[in-house]
């Protein structure tokens, strides 16, 4: 609790303050307004008022089946219809009249604990709301900062794991420094009965949640919610402010933007500003405000630097930056040539040429599944769905199904040219994995027999012919 000093204030300033019953000074409330609600990753505009007011918040709890990843659905419980919940923006000193409305078609009661509240349960004790009911309580925004809110109805962990978290910004009285863009990003884990990418409507797994072993670690509630066409946008020369939260329910985030340095971070979203930060720790139920100016165009990746979460569990976002290059800051690639270690010859890690084994198609596909999980799944994902904007899908892939020859070539030689898969352009680099003819035949037979592909069978003899 913060006690504002009153002694020594000029008489005119005192006139705008009233005494609370415990003696702390409270700002006089002038007028009222209804809170602006916008969907993430956007936030309401900065507050321009120079006085406290009554802010009326109408927030609806809503349960729905939605997309967790391509082909994977989940029953989300939400504040405002999406994950994370609607971003709320008030000013230090405001009185917030909070209306929590639980839709009639909800199956569960819900409530809300806002970390910006000074009071029992952060409001939870006053906001337990059955389906088809509304609750109202009010609180004074005493402390500036960026605060997490979440449902606190039992089983609390399950309500949070199903998506019931969001953030409220209490702007300091002088406001935040102006920036060009503000975005709202919130990390959270999902625990599903099936493994990552397993298709269909996935139930919540209490066992995995208790073990703190999520299948998905995500930004903004779905794989790909901030990638490809959903990427955050900015221009060279602009300053971006990210309001980053972590709903948990279990993990701590090591939040990092690949290719940028945070010029300023409000550490743990409080009043202390730290400069020149590479990775900022965001506890479960905590937040950070990160600001940086963009000097170089390109795609910047938002990640949890516990990096398997990014490349294997979905915690990947993108910031697409347009504008002129600046070779004085970043040159881009100046050279790419074959590297031959001193005194050595070109090393070929060719596998021993072995005579192809006699295998049935089923055996070939089964062996190929093992090759796939060891060599391909990390990038192309366990169910071949790829990663939007980064790794092309192998599932239902027009690129693969049109031509087995170029699929063999890609595995033999790698790929560095731009390719188009299912209408999306990819221009990453796939290394040559130096697999044997037999492994290449097996893994391609596995891929072609999976995920809606053509069913083509590739033999070691065909691979050998193209080597
Ligand atoms: Cu709830």
Question: 82 alpha carbon to ligand 1 midpoint, in Å?
Answer: 13
Q: Say how far apart CA 322 and CA 440 lie, in whole Å.
A: 39
Helices (H), 279-387: 308-313, 361-375, 377-380
Question: 86 alpha carbon to ligand 1 midpoint, in Å?
Answer: 15
Which tokens go with 177?
């420094």
Q: Which are the contacts of 352, defined by CB distance < 8 A and separation ≥ 6?
A: none
* Count of C-beta atoms within a 10 Å radius of residue 455: 11
Stretch (H or E) spanning 438: helix 437-448
Q: Give the DSSP letter of residue 214.
A: -
Top-confidence residue, 292 or 336: 292
Phi, psi of 367 (to 5 degrees): -65, -40
Question: 77 alpha carbon to ligand 1 midpoint, in Å?
Answer: 7
**Please, are residues 250 and 211 in contact by the beta-carbon 8 Å criterion?**
no
pLDDT band at 435 (very low <50, low <70, confident <90, very high): confident
Which tokens go with 151?
């449902």
Question: 40 alpha carbon to ligand 1 midpoint, in Å?
Answer: 19
pLDDT band at 382 (very low <50, low <70, confident <90, very high): confident
**Please, are residues 223 and 68 in contact by the beta-carbon 8 Å criterion?**
yes
* Farthest CA pair distance, the chain: 95
Q: Say how far apart CA 114 and CA 30 lie, in whole Å.
A: 23
pLDDT of residue 18: 65
Question: 170 alpha carbon to ligand 1 midpoint, in Å?
Answer: 23
Question: 159 alpha carbon to ligand 1 midpoint, in Å?
Answer: 5
- For tokens 């030689």, what's the residue? 413
Top-confidence residue, 6 or 101: 101
Q: Which residues have their alpha-adjacent CB atom under 5 A from ion ligand 1?
A: 110, 151, 153, 159, 164
Question: 63 alpha carbon to ligand 1 midpoint, in Å?
Answer: 9
List residues bridging with 248 in a β-sheet.
188
Q: Which of 19-28, 55-64, 289-298, 301-310 has the lowest mean pLDDT?
A: 19-28
C-alpha closest to that of 314 among 218, 382, 393, 245: 218
Which tokens go with 152?
């606190």
pLDDT of residue 23: 64
pLDDT tens digits for range 61-111: 999 999 999 999 999 999 999 999 999 999 999 999 999 999 999 999 999
Terminal Cα distance for the chain, rounded: 71
**Please, are residues 57 and 35 in contact by the beta-carbon 8 Å criterion?**
yes
pLDDT of residue 7: 38
CA atoms within 13 A on the CB side of 236: 11
List residues bridging with 274 in a β-sheet.
265
Q: Say how far apart CA 445 and CA 454 lie, in whole Å.
A: 10
pLDDT tens digits for range 301-352: 999 999 999 999 999 999 999 999 998 899 888 876 666 555 443 334 444 4
**Please, are residues 224 and 385 in contact by the beta-carbon 8 Å criterion?**
no
pLDDT band at 379 (very low <50, low <70, confident <90, very high): confident
Question: 76 alpha carbon to ligand 1 midpoint, in Å?
Answer: 10
Question: 158 alpha carbon to ligand 1 midpoint, in Å?
Answer: 8
Q: Say how far apart CA 458 and CA 453 lie, in whole Å.
A: 13
Question: 267 alpha carbon to ligand 1 midpoint, in Å?
Answer: 28
Res 388 pLDDT > 90: no
3-state secondary structure of 146: strand
> Which domains can be identified in the chain, with CATH numbers?
11-173 (2.60.40.420), 182-322 (2.60.40.420), 361-466 (1.10.760.10)
**Please, are residues 300 and 321 in contact by the beta-carbon 8 Å criterion?**
yes
Handedness of CA 244, 249, 252, 257 (dihedral sign): negative
Question: 163 alpha carbon to ligand 1 midpoint, in Å?
Answer: 9
Mean pLDDT of 49-55: 97
Handedness of CA 326, 327, 330, 335 (dihedral sign): positive
pLDDT band at 430 (very low <50, low <70, confident <90, very high): confident
Question: 18 alpha carbon to ligand 1 midpoint, in Å?
Answer: 36
pLDDT band at 274 (very low <50, low <70, confident <90, very high): very high
Question: 428 alpha carbon to ligand 1 midpoint, in Å?
Answer: 41
pLDDT of residue 427: 81
Q: Give the DSSP letter of residue 204.
A: B
Q: Give the DSSP letter of residue 249.
A: S
pLDDT band at 353 (very low <50, low <70, confident <90, very high): low
Q: Say how far apart CA 241 and CA 185 lie, in whole Å.
A: 11
Question: 314 alpha carbon to ligand 1 midpoint, in Å?
Answer: 24
Phi, psi of 242 (to 5 degrees): -105, 125
pLDDT of residue 333: 80
Question: 108 alpha carbon to ligand 1 midpoint, in Å?
Answer: 7
Question: 290 alpha carbon to ligand 1 midpoint, in Å?
Answer: 29
Which tokens go with 313?
């569990």
Q: Which of 119-123, 203-207, 361-365, 416-420 has the lowest mean pLDDT?
A: 416-420
Question: 143 alpha carbon to ligand 1 midpoint, in Å?
Answer: 25
Question: 71 alpha carbon to ligand 1 midpoint, in Å?
Answer: 26
Question: 310 alpha carbon to ligand 1 midpoint, in Å?
Answer: 27
Question: 81 alpha carbon to ligand 1 midpoint, in Å?
Answer: 13
Question: 150 alpha carbon to ligand 1 midpoint, in Å?
Answer: 8
C-alpha closest to that of 289 among 175, 145, 86, 148: 145
**Please, are residues 284 and 248 in contact by the beta-carbon 8 Å criterion?**
yes
pLDDT tens digits for range 114-152: 999 999 999 999 999 999 999 999 999 999 999 999 999
Radius of gyration of the chain (CA): 27
Average pLDDT of the residues of the chain: 90
3-state secondary structure of 46: coil
């Amino acid at each position: 609790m913060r006690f504002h000093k009153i002694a020594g204030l000029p008489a005119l300033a005192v006139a705008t303050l009233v005494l609370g019953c415990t003696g702390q000074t409270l700002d006089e409330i002038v007028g009222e307004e209804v809170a602006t609600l916008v969907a993430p990753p956007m936030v309401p505009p900065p507050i321009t008022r120079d006085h406290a007011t009554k802010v009326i918040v109408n927030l609806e709890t809503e349960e729905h089946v939605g997309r967790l990843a391509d082909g994977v659905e989940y029953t989300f419980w939400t504040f405002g219809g999406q994950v994370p919940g609607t971003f709320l923006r008030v000013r230090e000193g405001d009185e917030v009249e909070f209306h929590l409305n639980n839709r009639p078609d909800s199956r569960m009661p819900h409530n809300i604990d806002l970390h910006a509240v000074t009071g029992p349960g952060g409001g939870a004790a006053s906001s337990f709301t059955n389906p088809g009911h509304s609750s109202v309580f009010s609180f004074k925004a005493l402390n500036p900062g960026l605060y997490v809110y979440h449902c606190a109805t039992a089983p609390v962990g399950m309500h949070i794991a199903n998506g019931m978290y969001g953030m409220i910004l209490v702007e300091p009285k002088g406001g935040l420094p102006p920036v060009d863009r503000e975005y709202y990003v919130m990390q959270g884990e999902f625990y599903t009965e099936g493994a990552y990418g397993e298709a269909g409507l996935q139930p919540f797994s209490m066992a995995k949640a208790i073990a703190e072993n999520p299948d998905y670690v995500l930004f903004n509630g779905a794989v790909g919610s901030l990638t490809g066409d959903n990427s955050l946008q900015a221009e060279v020369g602009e300053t971006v402010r990210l309001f980053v939260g972590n709903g948990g329910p279990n993990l701590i985030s090591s939040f990092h933007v690949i290719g940028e340095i945070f010029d300023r971070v409000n550490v743990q979203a409080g009043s202390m500003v730290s400069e020149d930060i590479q990775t900022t720790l965001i506890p479960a139920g905590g937040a950070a405000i990160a600001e940086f100016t963009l000097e170089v165009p390109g795609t910047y990746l938002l990640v949890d630097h516990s990096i398997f979460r990014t490349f294997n569990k979905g915690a990947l976002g993108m910031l697409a930056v347009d504008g002129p290059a600046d070779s004085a800051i970043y040159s881009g690639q100046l050279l790419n040539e074959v590297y031959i270690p001193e005194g050595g010859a070109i090393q070929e890690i060719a596998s021993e040429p072995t005579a192809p084994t006699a295998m049935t198609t089923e055996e070939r596909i089964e062996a190929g599944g093992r090759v796939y999980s060891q060599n391909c799944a990390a990038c192309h994902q366990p169910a071949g769905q790829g990663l939007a904007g980064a790794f092309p899908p192998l599932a239902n892939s027009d690129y693969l199904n049109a031509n087995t020859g170029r699929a063999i070539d890609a595995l033999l030689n790698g790929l560095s040219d731009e390719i188009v898969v299912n209408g999306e352009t990819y221009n990453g680099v796939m290394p040559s994995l130096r697999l044997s003819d037999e492994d290449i035949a097996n893994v391609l037979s596995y891929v072609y027999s999976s995920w809606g592909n053509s069913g083509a069978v590739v033999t070691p003899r065909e691979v050998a012919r193209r080597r």
